Structure formats: C-alpha cells, structure tokens
Structure 1
Amino acid sequence: MLDFSFINDELPIHSRQLSYAGGIEYEEFEKAQELKVIENHLDYYGKFRWSSQQVKQKNNILVPAIISLIPNLASILKQALAGDFGLVAFGD
C-alpha cells in the first residue's frame, strides 16, 4: 500500500503533524502513472511529496473518465485540494 498524508507546504516531510489521507494499491499507482497523474520517476515503494500547488495541478486533470480509473487517488487529491494541503506518500 502507498499511504498518503496531508501536509502543509512549510512543514518538513517527517513532521508529526501529518494527518492520514488514504492509500492506493500498486495497480492504481501504475494506472495513475499511465494517466500522467503520478510522475514516471516516482516509486511505489519509496516516498515522495507534492506541494499544494502540485495537488491543484493534478486536480485540474481529473475528468470523470480518469476519476473512474483511479478512484482512491482522485479522492485523496480532492480532499487535499479542499484543505489546501500538499501530500506526502510513503510506500511499504
């Protein structure tokens, strides 16, 4: 599972003030890469961070056809946008 947490842009990645946003399975991660929502250089088992600005950009490409293919990630992105948060992801 690739777990996402909400993070304010000014906080360090290992802040204790992270709030769990949700997770995605490997298949959804691969589909999101195919759809160019997740960058190809990012690793499912690693960690990465998106700023609130990157979250806004990713939400702009979420049309219904894409949302239906990556429902969990789309929901996480929409929640982050609503709260004006960035996201940090940790693979396990």
Structure 2
Amino acid sequence: MANTSSAQKAARQAARRTATNKARRSRLRSTVRSVEVAIAAGDKAAAEQALKAAEPVMMRSAQKGVVHKKTMSRKVSRLAARIKSIGAAAG
C-alpha cells in the first residue's frame, strides 16, 4: 500500500491508465478480428472496408503507447498484403 500522498496519487493514475489502456487494447483487438474474419471468409470488399475502419484505431493505439508504432505498422502492412492476395488467388 502506498504510504506517501505522491505514491497514492501515482497508484490512482496507474489504475486509471490501466483501465484506459485495457479498453484501447480491447477495441484494437476487436477491429483486427473483424478484418481477420473478412479475410477468412474470402470477401475482399468487406476486408478492405474493415481494414479502412481498423487502421485509424490501430495507429491511434500505437500513438497512445498501447503497442509499439512499428508493431502496428507491420500488422497493418501484413493485413493489407493478405487482403491483396485474396484477389490474386481468386483471379
């Protein structure tokens, strides 16, 4: 348990940040999952729409420090490549 007032404040801030980051991470995972589901279904148009909606959420979570910026850039790139390959495999 925090003894000093500054330590108590730090504990409150940490709890608040944890809750915020947990919500952001959950939203991030949900949006990525929607893209994954569209890719698995083989629906290129739906996957592109899902990625278009997910990308701002993904990059914002990186900007806010939930995940590393390069990690998110890599994930966006890989999802885009998988969506692109849907058309190549079907066409």
| Fold match by TM threshold 0.5 | no
Question: TM-score when scaled to structure 2?
Answer: 0.32
Larger radius of gyration: 2
Structure of greater relative contact order (alpha carbons < 8 Å, 6+ residues apart): 1
More helix by share: 2
More strand by share: 1
Question: TM-score when scaled to structure 1?
Answer: 0.32
